[in-house]
Structure 1
Amino acid sequence: MMMARFCLYVFFLLVGVPVAGLWAQTDAADTLRPGQNERPDKPKLIVETDQRFFYLKNADQPLLRNPVNVWGARAGLLLPVNIKVGVGYYFTNQSINEPWDEFDVSRRRLQYATVYVEPYFFRRRFWELSTLVEVGLGSARYEMLNRDTQQPVHRRTVAVPLSVGLSASVKLPVVFGIKPLRWFGVNFMAGYRYTLHEPVPLSESTLNGLFYSISPAIFLDRIYQDIGGWRKGRNRRKG
Structure 2
Amino acid sequence: MKRIFTLGLFIFLTGFLVDSFGQGEHLATESQTHIFWQADRKLSEDDFQYDGTQDEKIVNYCNEFDLYTVASVGLFAVLDVPKKKRKRGELLEKVYFAPAFDKTTSFILSHDTLGVEKQEVIFDIFELSARTARQQLHHLQDSIRGYGIISMMFKSIEAKAIEMRTTLVDSYTQDVYINKSVGAYNEWRIKIDKLLLDTKEYATKPEDCFRFIKKEPIDDRYIIAKTVVGNLFE
- Under a length normalisation based on structure 2, what TM-score does the superposition of the two structures give? 0.27
Larger Rg: 1
Q: Per chain length, whose mean CA-contact separation is higher, i.e. which structure has more relative contact order (CA < 8 Å, sep 6+)?
A: 2
Higher strand share: 1
- Under a length normalisation based on structure 1, what TM-score does the superposition of the two structures give? 0.26
Higher helix share: 2
